[in-house]
Amino acid sequence: MMSTEEILDLSNEHPIILFDGVCNMCDGFVQFVMKRDKEGVFRFAPLQSESGGALLCHFGLDENALDTVVLIENGEFYTKSTAPLRTAKRIGGGWGLAYSFIILPKFIRDWGYDLVATYRYKLFGEKTTCMMPTPEVRARFLG
């Protein structure tokens, strides 16, 4: 496994998305990003993984709070609504237009995010295990 410092250095060139590995909606978000990230820039790790837990600790985030996607970019972290908006901007194309929602006050954006996060398992289901990446994408996942 890479050290936390190595992962943070990696985030300068490869933004890292931490996600709830048993959440179907979160898995769908990861699949969505991978499909549109033609350059293979993004890296991924489940929040429940050793790397995910180490990064959460590094940033002082609760290791047991799995209700947000975390984006780590250039050594900084973003959570809740800011993480997917910054991800969309980085993907580019028409998806970059979603970043325009950043002008909404954060408390409003995060209220909507929290509402969906609260009901995500009920709406989209839950896996019994974390996603196992195919050999083609395994290199994009942190250990």
* 133 close to 36: Cβ distance less than 8 angstroms: no
Beta pairing, strands 70-73 & 16-19: antiparallel
E strand map for 24-125: 43-46, 70-73, 76-79
Domains and CATH numbers, the chain: 4-140 (3.40.30)
Whether 56 shows a pLDDT value over 80: the answer reads: yes
Q: How many CA atoms within 13 Å lie on the side-chain side of 24?
A: 10
Q: Determine the average pLDDT of the residues in 7-30.
A: 90
Confidence of residue 128 (pLDDT cuts 50, 70, 90): low
Start-to-end Cα distance in the chain: 5
| Burial tier of 45 (Cβ tally within 10 Å: 0-12, 13-18, 19+) | buried
This prediction has a pTM of: 0.89
Residue predicted with more confidence, 29 or 10: 29
Q: Count the Cβ atoms, other than its own, within 10 Å of residue 69.
A: 26
pLDDT in tens, 63-88: 887 889 999 999 999 999 999 999 99
Q: How many CA atoms within 13 Å lie on the side-chain side of 131?
A: 25
E strand map for the chain: 16-19, 43-46, 70-73, 76-79
Hey, what amino acid is at 130?
C
